[in-house]
Structure formats: structure tokens, C-alpha cells
Structure 1
Amino acid sequence: MPDPVATDPDHYRVLWENERVRVLEYRDRPGDRTHPHEHPDSVMVTLSSFEREISSGCRHVPVHLDAGQARWLDAQTHAGHNVGDTATHVIFVELKERRPTVSADTPTLGPTAP
């Protein structure tokens, strides 16, 4: 599966990694887009407020988050587009261990509400 650090190295960088987790920093500017990439189950911490559109296939989900929030992100493949007028700055804590049970339902796209 496509790693965001490989597909979009100008936006993602690895801050720290061990055998169980990887911590990524993500930054972009208004109008920037990412290529399709995959995230495992992750915790996302917003360091800036932003508006994005997350897409996967024909699904498109608007995302507006304020700075200082933490959200769960189910494992997913998506691309993103900064549709707002502010830069995005986010930290992802990616889990390397797979979830013990996986639902057969359609996975969530984008972050989940608290």
C-alpha cells in the first residue's frame, strides 16, 4: 500500500519510529493536494485549524477541525485536498499492530468525532 512519506514527501515527514508506532508530521498550504496513500489505525492531533476534503474512489468527505484536537483515524486509503484558507499542521501517531477484529462494514473515511 502507498506510504504517505513516499507519495508526498513534501508534506509528510517521520518524526520518530519504533517497532510499534510511527509518528508523522503533516504540513500543507491552501490548495495543496496529496496523492492516494494509506494510513494504518492512527491518532491524529491537530496543531492548526483547517478545512480539507478527503476522498477515496467516489467518496468525498469534508473535514473541518480546530487546532488542539485529537481524533481517531481508522485505517484507510485516501487522498486529501486543502480546500480552506489556512495551512494544515497535524501529527499522526500510526499504530503498526493490526486491530484484533476488523468490521466487515465500510471503513470510516476521515477522522471520527469525539
Structure 2
Amino acid sequence: MDDDPVATNPQLYSVVFENERVRVLEYRDEPGAESTPHRHPDSVMVTLSDFDRRLSSGVRAVDVAMAAGQARWLPAQAHAGTNIGSTETHVIFVELKEPGPAAPPEDEPLGPR
């Protein structure tokens, strides 16, 4: 199964730039929208709107509130998401293509840091 967010959720994710070192994705959704499970490599996330989301992976879930104009590190992870707020989610992801460290432990927190 393909776990690339552009393949699993093409209505939400689009590629806005790509070269041999990075891929830049734009993500947009409306309140109540849900993404199917997908995987992100190590990335930098830039928020373009205020939003509230629930990220889940297996039995774990975390609610995340983000303000517009933030840049955060997003370590490699697999998750699904739900817009649990009253505003659109609008985010840019700069995905790194270089190999990262070994896979994080299962108890690694979900979401941005």
C-alpha cells in the first residue's frame, strides 16, 4: 500500500516543488475533514492558518492547536488526521529526502515539535 500523503489524500495534499533534496507539499482542509493514514519523512512544517487537529496512529491520539506563522520540526512519522476545529487547516511541508536516523520508537510523540 502506498503511504505517500499525495497518493492517499490527493484532495488534501499537493506537490508545489520538488528536486533531488526536498519535496514541498501544500495541505488544505475544511473543518471536519479527515485524512487517511499516511507517512511523512523528516519535515519542516509551516502553518499558514490557525487550526486544531487530532492526529492518530494506532491506538494513540493527540490533539494539536497551532497558530498561523509557525515553523516546526516534524520528525518522520505515520498518522491520520482530523480537523477538529472551526477553521481551515493550511500548511506547507518541506520534506527532506536525505536519509534520517533510524525509525523513532513507537512511544515517540505524534505531531510537530
Structure 2 CA distance, aligned partners of 1:43 and 1:94?
Answer: 7
What number of residue pairs does the alignment pair up? 112
1:37-88 C-alpha deviation (Å, 9 max, x unpaired): 0000000000000000000000001100000000000000000000000000
- Aligned runs of 1:46-57 on 2, under 5 Å? 46-57=47-58
Unaligned 5+ runs, structure 1: none
Cα RMSD, aligned residues only:
1.4
User: 1:41–1:75: 8 Å Cα contact kept in structure 2?
Assistant: yes
Q: For 1:105 and 1:4, how far apart are their aligned partners in 2?
A: 20
What is the match of residue 15 of structure 1?
Answer: 16
Q: Does 1:79 align with 2:80?
A: yes
Letter in 1 for 2:56: S
Q: 3-state SS of the aligned residue for 2:81? A: strand
TM-score normalised over the length of structure 2: 0.93
Which residue of 2 is the match for residue 92 of structure 1? 93
The ranges of structure 1 where at least 4 consecutive aligned residues each deviate by more than 4 angstroms after the TM superposition are 100-105
Cα separation, partners in 2 of 1:61 and 1:103, compared to 1, 3 Å: closer
Give the counterpart letter for 1:74 in structure 2: P
Gapped regions of structure 2 (runs ≥ 5)? none
Task: Report the alpha carbon displacement of residue 34 of structure 1 after superposing the two structures with TM.
Answer: 0.1
Q: Deviations over 1:11-37 (max 9, x none)?
A: 000000011100000000000000000
- Residue pair 1:25, 1:91 contacting (<8 A) in 2 also: yes
1:69 matched to which residue of 2?
A: 70
User: Percent identical across equivalent pairs?
Assistant: 63
TM-score (norm 1): 0.92
Letter in 1 for 2:90: H
The whole-number CA distance in structure 2 between the counterparts of 1:105 and 1:98 is: 19
| CA shift for structure 1 position 98 | 1.5
